[in-house]
Amino acid sequence: MTAACISGRRRRGQHFAYTNNPKPKMSPSTPYAESSTAFPIFALAWSSNTTLLLAGGGGASRSGVANRLDIRELKPLTKEGEGKGAEGEVRLESVGEYVLSREEDAPMCLDVNDEGVIATGINAKNGPNEHLRLFKLKANTIEEDGRKQLFKAPENGDGDDYQRVAVYNASGSLLASASTDGSLAVVNIPDRSVAWTSGEPGQEIYDAAFSWPEANEKESHTAAAELFAYVTPSTLYLHNAPDGKLIRTISPSSSSKPAQFRCVRFLPRRRLLSGGKVAMTGAVMVAALNSKPSGSAWIVRYTPGGAGVERTQKLRSSVTCMDVASTGTIAVACANLSIHVLSPTLVPLRRVQQAHSFPATCLRWRPEGGLVASGSVDARVRVWEVEGGRSSAMTVLVAVLVLVVLVLVVVVVGMWWFLVKTEPVAPAAASRSLLLALAATSAGVVIAYVLLASKKSTDVKGRDSCANVMATPERGIAVACAGGRGVRVPACLRYGDVMPSKDTTTTTMSNKPPTNLIQDWSSKLIGKKITDSGFPKGDLPQKSRVVEPGSFLTRDFHEDRLNVHVDGSGKVTHLTQG
């Protein structure tokens, strides 16, 4: 899981002024579901695919806006159900809450593990500032489960700093807590002992994240492979998660962009095949950097281990928060009220304009992906169905071709009108000439489109964005998408661009002569387990691929392709060919 990174710095006890339930001025995109609250929202987290936790409030002062944790449930609307909306629509219903006392500040960060233990940061106005607060989520109720002070109060006593980050690792055994004063502590769960600390005094920590487990299987996630990263405006820190050993630091200057770090996330790891060898993708980090002079931002994807910059994507507005789905799809909220959706390789997929009346303070994908929730100080939480769609480059290509067709139609119609009016040409002959010209124009446009697309992309059946891409050095690429609508993927993607996706459809290109691969390889592979270094015996054919649980294959058939079916632990269960 990942923490929501929030914007702004405020004094302890200071309340926030906001407009209660304002209507967006304009919203070209309709949310999948939305709900208003009685408080500004600073953080949110999914406890399941249908349950959303909200945190926020008016601060420690007596502003009349209570500080609270709120439980929202995604529920379908039916004709017999309550509320407005047509059958088939979905609403966010409040099913429970926990109201804090007036002596406590608003919760500024939030996360929850699989055991239902909620972690948040809440400053106390009086007495010991036990800012790390733990709650237990039981059904639709929230009960306090403990509190702990990890960071010392400032010597000047002005209460200027607060806990900005609370984030669990994938297994829920580690909890990272970070403060705006530059302090960071990683706590063991459930005994709540401090595993290690880090941070630089005076370096405000904006965001933090743990790496994803291997193949999205928490039980196969070894401690040695788990990484942790956090960002201050000037530095990205990469640590070994269990013991806190510092692996690397990255500065914005190494990204060749004069900017400050704002958010950091890891992309999920997956198995990949090339030349018959099996390996795991490395821990790839994605960071958001804001350019102060221009107000723009850069999304940067680093090479595994953070040794260098692999690619970048520029945004026109500064970033407020960011999150990565289990499919590898990236959602970014910007100060201009928009939400951008990018592929794992930073290809723009979708953009939501006017997502809120104020910039989003938090953004989180639900566990299985597909839906992303956003919250803001405008006291509204919205859920967006934004994962999927065609890339902006393809949209531009289609728009240009449509414009060309319209221009040619206007020219041909004008010529026909000129001939009919000025030349002694029969209307029937002119009409035939018009139809022939239109047919030739349409054929030319279609041929140009096909030729252009064949050089740059390959058609794939897919309902979602192509989140799983496998490129081989010698032949073509393999693309995995969820089934449904057509998606076009650039063929220039490089080897190693592999991201996970549930319910995948995979298609590859192959031209090797057919052989009986199942007979040749069954005795060598059945019952064996995939390791990071490859299969125990021999190398697989070039076009082999791993088929993990929950995946399905396309109907296309290639006799030279071996499909290696594995269970959740990587053990080979059976083989198929084609």
pLDDT tens-digit readout, 310-335: 899 999 999 999 999 988 999 999 99
550, 534 in Cβ contact below 8 A?
no
Q: Which two tokens stand for residue 266?
A: 């890891």
Q: pTM here?
A: 0.65
Based on the domain organization, do 434 and 464 belong to the same domain?
no
> With 0-12 CB in 10 A as exposed, 13-18 as middle and 19+ as buried, what is 473?
exposed
CB atoms within 10 A of CB 237: 24
Range(s) of the domain holding residue 397: 393-457
Residues 384 and 440 in one domain: no
Query: Rounded to whole angstroms, how far apart are CA atoms 184 and 316?
Result: 31
- Taking only the tens place, the pLDDT of each residue in 278-305 is 555 668 999 999 987 778 999 999 987 7
Longest dimension (CA), the chain: 99
Residue 208 has pLDDT above 90, yes or no: yes
CATH code where residue 196 lies: 2.130.10.10
Rounded distance between C-alpha atoms, residue 174 and residue 234, angstroms: 26
**Whether residue 474 is found in the same domain as residue 439:** no
Rounded to a whole number, what is the distance in angstroms from the first to the last CA of the chain? 37
Question: CA triplet 322, 284, 190: central angle to 5 degrees?
Answer: 70
Per-residue model confidence (pLDDT) at position 66: 87
Burial code of 114-146, b = ≥16 C-beta within 10 A, e = fewer?
Answer: eebbbbbbbbbbeeebebbbbbebeeeebeebe
Closest C-alpha among 393, 295, 303, 386 to residue 335: 295
For position 294, what pLDDT does the model report? 75
Q: Among 372, 388, 404, give the residue marking a domain's end.
A: 388
In-domain check, residue 21: no
Task: Name which residue leads in pLDDT, 542 or 489.
Answer: 542
The number of distinct structural domains making up the chain is 3
Position with higher pLDDT, 452 vs 384: 384
Alpha carbon distance 29, 282 (integer Å): 36
- Assess whether 518 and 373 both reside in one domain: no
- Closest by alpha carbon to 302, among 259, 260, 348, 251? 251
pLDDT digits (tens, 9 = 90+) for 105-133: 899 999 999 999 999 999 877 767 788 99
Q: What CA–CA distances, in Å, run from 341 to 224, 363, 365, 385?
A: 31, 12, 11, 11
Q: Same structural domain for residues 486 and 435?
A: no
d(CA 387, CA 383): 12
Residue 19 lies in a domain: no
φ/ψ bin of 151: left (φ > 0), alpha (ψ from -120 to 50), beta (otherwise) = beta
pLDDT digits 0-9 by tens, 23-35: 333 334 688 899 9
From 33-42, 79-88, 220-229, 404-413, the region with the lowest mean pLDDT: 79-88
What is the pLDDT confidence band of residue 476, given thresholds at 50, 70 and 90? very low
Q: Which helix (H) or strand (E) holds 519?
A: helix 517-525
Has residue 474 been placed in a domain? Answer: yes
The answer to whether position 20 is within a domain reads: no
Query: In which residue are the tokens 């057509």 written?
Result: 486
Does 94 share its domain with 134?
Answer: yes
